[in-house]
Amino acid sequence: MGIEGKVVAITGASSGIGRATAKLLAERGAFVVLGARREEALASIVDEIATAGGKAVHKTTDVRQRSDLDALVALAIEQGGRLDVIVNNAGIGPISRFDGLRVEDWDAMIDVNLRGTLYGIAAALPAFQRQQSGHIINIVSTAGLKILPTMGVYAATKNAVRTISEALRQEAGPNLRVTEISPGMISTDFASSITDPGVKSAIGERGSKLAIPPASIARGVVYSIEQPADVEVGSIVIRPTAQD
């Protein structure tokens, strides 16, 4: 029970939800193992955590590469002695209308949001099976709960992860916990990956009016982890009170 001493790997940890989660978990006494593509940003976060008295390491990680996820989990076990939790947070959202035919963006979302999560699960499961304990947390989205124009492929990837999470939960048995967390409009750099100028502008404007801080999601992650071992928080939805 609790956070103190747990070893937690986080993908997409260089900014937004991943960064906020890393900092909050480290404040609560976890050893955080951070993965993302941006080496400089990761190193900066590790320095911040260390300066505040926390414990963190990092490894450049591209979730599209299965070997990178294996290496991140291996680092956690090497440095922390075990892996208690993996937070599959890395995601992108270059959303657009279907008739925009931005097929490369569709492929990218499938590779990062869906395949990347599966690679994280595949990397963590052997360690969890050896330990007879573990916790997989998948960050999905409210975009999969209320389907809107331009969100089709993005929502599909997130709903695929939702399905995976539920099937894994049923397969997992008594020693593995599975949680999926659905953020609503959060103040992150989500819009930076959008290649359609009109959609990018609209999302940016909506976010400026509605978005809540990434720390709101980090608190949900902490809540799910700190429950007693026999309590599984299966699903959490966290969104602005003003969001439709």
The single residue listed with the structure tokens 């941006």 is 38
Amino acid identity of 232? E
Nearest partner of 141 among 95, 103, 100, 85, judged by Cα = 95
The vertex-177 CA angle with 173 and 181, nearest 5°, equals 140
Residue 59, H or E segment? strand 55-60
CB atoms within 10 A of CB 131: 14
Residue 154 annotated in active site = yes
Annotated active-site residue in 105, 154, 239, 240: 154
Residue of 3, 37, 9 whose CA lies nearest to 124: 9
- Which residues form the catalytic set? 154
